Amino acid sequence: MESEPLTLKDKFKFLCHKGLECFNECCKNQNLFLTPYDVIRMKNRLKITSTEFLKKYTTWHIGYYTGLPVVMLKMEPKCPFVSEEGCTIYEDRPSSCRLYPLARVKIGNEEYYYIVKEDFCKGFEEDKEWTVEEWIKDQGAEVYNRMNDVFMELISAKNRCKRELSEDEIKMVYTACFDIDRFREYLSENYDVLSYSDEELMVFAIKWVIKNILQK
């Protein structure tokens, strides 16, 4: 169940902690979509390559509405990173986990948030009050929002493209956006990208896809 749209100054009550009977329930039986920045943070936390991370922990398909690759975490049926004590990669958890119980929508320069209320969640019965802005800061979500906005530029460019991508083009978009380590190798012969951080390369890769695939 979702709320009416909230602005940064709107308030809500929520708190999650190990004392709640529903603790970890939100880490089960979910469709968890990953952004390119999520993959970077998680694979670096695990000290493995993006190729290894994607193969071991994710599946992907072509989005019905976007026609672009959609990467999802394998739950089977719970998150591979959840323990009885909570998330084992908490400092580098994905965007949707980080923002929960909020969901973010950005249209142009307008940004809105919605409260996502699961029936099992007891966190809403806690008395801790936040503004949306306070919650974003407390959860360290600012950088995720900024980096995910870069990915949204790609989705907007695909919407303007008005054509279906070929199988090879889709695979290249997947590699460029999500398999950042393999894409670095692909580019290294023609571009000076070896010194780029993963975050810098992600931004470069998205702009590269827009220019070389979506605008050709």
* Per-residue pLDDT band at 191 (split at 50, 70, 90): confident
Question: Which pTM value belongs to this model?
Answer: 0.95
* Per-residue pLDDT band at 3 (split at 50, 70, 90): confident
C-beta separation of 35 from 148 below 8 A: yes
| Nearest residue to 150 (alpha-carbon basis) of 195, 182, 180 | 180
pLDDT (tens digit per residue) in 117-151: 999 999 999 999 999 999 999 999 999 999 999 99
User: Measured between alpha carbons, how far is residue 100 from residues 83, 111, 195, 196, 203 in Å?
Assistant: 18, 16, 34, 31, 25
- Delimit the domains of the chain by residue range: 11-142, 146-214
C-beta separation of 124 from 16 below 8 A: no
Average the pLDDT over 55-60 and give the result.
Answer: 98
Strand ranges in 45-188 using DSSP code E only, listed in sequence order: 58-62, 69-73, 82-83, 86-87, 102-107, 110-115, 129-131
Average the pLDDT over 165-190 and give the result.
Answer: 95
pLDDT (tens digit per residue) in 102-116: 999 988 888 999 999
Give the pLDDT confidence score for residue 2 in this predicted structure.
Answer: 60
Q: Please say if the pLDDT value at position 94 is more than 90.
A: yes
Q: Please say if the pLDDT value at position 78 is more than 90.
A: yes
Give the pLDDT confidence score for residue 193 in this predicted structure.
Answer: 85
